[in-house]
Structure 1
Amino acid sequence: MEPQRKKPEISVRAPDLGLPSRCLTLSPNLTLRRLKLAFLPRSFPQTLALESLFFDLGGRPLPDSSTLDAAGVFSSLSTVLDLRLRLRGGGGDGGATGAESRDCYLNMYAIKKPDKVDPNETRLSKWTTCAISAEPLAPPVVVDRLGNLFNKEALVEALIHKKIPKEFSHIRGLKDMIPVHLTPNPSAVGSETKFECPITGLELNGKYGFLVLRGCGHVLSTKALKEVKSSACLVCHKEFSESDKLVINGSADEVAVLRERMEEERGKLKERKEKKANASLSGKKHAGDENGGILENGRKDGGAKRFKAVDMVPANATKEVYASIFTSSKKSDFKETFSCRSLPLGRN
């Protein structure tokens, strides 16, 4: 009679679950699925066990439907089976390979990933809300020299309380604000935008390019200015030059051009102010003569020349008689009164 074959001892571990290892003597016909359910505590969810756990033999995953004998578990007298987590991805595609710890698996879902920002919403917000308060654009609306749109009240309030963000530090006062005239959109009730181009009807939503004319403040689409070749505003017919065109919410290159133009204009304005100040200072000074700056009337430089009646004597008139009209022509020992210069004291 053939001796009965001794069942080998199998060591079952679950390092990913933090369960203690157990040495078991099992039947070769036992399936891995039944072994899994028998090894786990009863409180462990059965659905999670079937979907997320698998046995690993020397780095080789084993199917749950296979028996211990068919899976090659009994190929040696001492065998170690590892119960591991089946992570989504399977490796090679950025997911897990099954070799990660339980903490990594839990932390992957515990950490909340930041929500993705919709670029369409960002674009629309830039064209329909104030750049400093994020409130919907509402007249009066202004634009700075770099093409950013603001509600005037919000921008003035920020200037007064000195709460201008760093990206808008180029705005120094009211002179850096250009009032704009926005054309209301008749279909604004069912539309995302409240304003449009008065010529083409294109909505002010960031899908189309828009310009503001600095002279009159009217906002027109780039398409309107291209189709209608004119050097005057298409709304108020006021003449404008190429430098009067200001791109609204332009690209990085367009903003760089506007910034360069702004610095150039500020430099010219500063130069004019300096010339005007120097001219006003130089106008207060007068050049003197060779005698140390003493004029003929005895006054120094900077004093006005005293008027003398004898210098403007009419024809056929005596200097003495003409001068007596304005002042005493002869000096005497008698004093004159303040009310009558022709009647000195003692002669009445």
Structure 2
Amino acid sequence: MESQNHQQLQVFIQSPTLQIPKFAVTLNPNQTWGDLKNSLTSLNSSSFLSYNGKIVDESSTIGCSTITPFSTLNLHIRVNGGGGDGGATGAESRDCYLNMYAEKKPDKVDPNEKRLSKWSTCALSFEPLKPPCVIDYLGNVFNKEALVKALLAKSLPKPFSLYIKGLKDLIPVHLSQEHGSSKFECPISGFEFNGKYKFYALKKCGHVFSGKALKEVKSSACFVCHKEFEEDDKIVINGSDDEVEILRGKMIKLKENEREKKGVSGKIKKAKYKQENNAGDNCDVQLSGKKHGIDDVNTKAEANAKVTNSVVDVAAAPKRFKAVDVAPPNANKQVYASLFTSSKKKSDFKETYSCRSLPLGRN
């Protein structure tokens, strides 16, 4: 190496990018590789030298480098991308890129990026979280606008549509934003809403706090609105698989209790309705209106009188004529009845090809 420091070094330079053929250059050992590059091209910031596929350190001196004499170096020019190649449309979310990268190199996915994407974007649209926000009973966070649009269009994905039927299955939440920033934080502890810390939403008021704030400040009332809450009112946000299963069990139990309450209230309403209207075997039903054949009924007596008269009229009506009742003693009743069109069932008639109003056997 000492001999290189006292001798001049000769190397070959070529540039496939600039289509420059290989040529020899004699170098001063005290120069740097950056000085050599600057002497070859005026594009200092967008050019670099490489040796054996590796970029040469421009700050190192030529005499102290491991490049041997008569070696070949390549001069490259960096070309700035102008877009328009179809690689990105601007509509992709961070989550899409993470999934694509995970398929190609599953061992290279940054877990911090995946966690941050889950806590900073809507669970439905994957757009950045923007108030007003809501959560479901399993701790997923949504932009309210995106969720309402999906409910109206009936395009909610199956995992969510199984238990989200409307806004009654969601809880509006109040996320505290950092001062002068779009990021969210705990209003008590100041912890960032980024997945590094556990966060809870209070079901009764919707305020969101870090788990540490709820643990250290012993209180049964909300720190912001001072509304009382119980332990079951806390919903963990973006919890683990075990925590989500616990929340799922609570949600199922809550829905079952609501169904039971609705069933009991329905029975009470029916019983009250029957009691008020004297529903039973001995009650008198008062009919009114043209639908029941009574034009003007003002009292129950008039209604009962009309019903009684109709029963008498039916009893006094003559018996309907049947041909088989007057058949001769030796005649076959079925054959005798066939002589009269009134004895044939309507289902036995068949329509003719030319006219439906002239069934066979009637002319």
More helix by share: 2
Q: Which has the larger radius of gyration?
A: 1
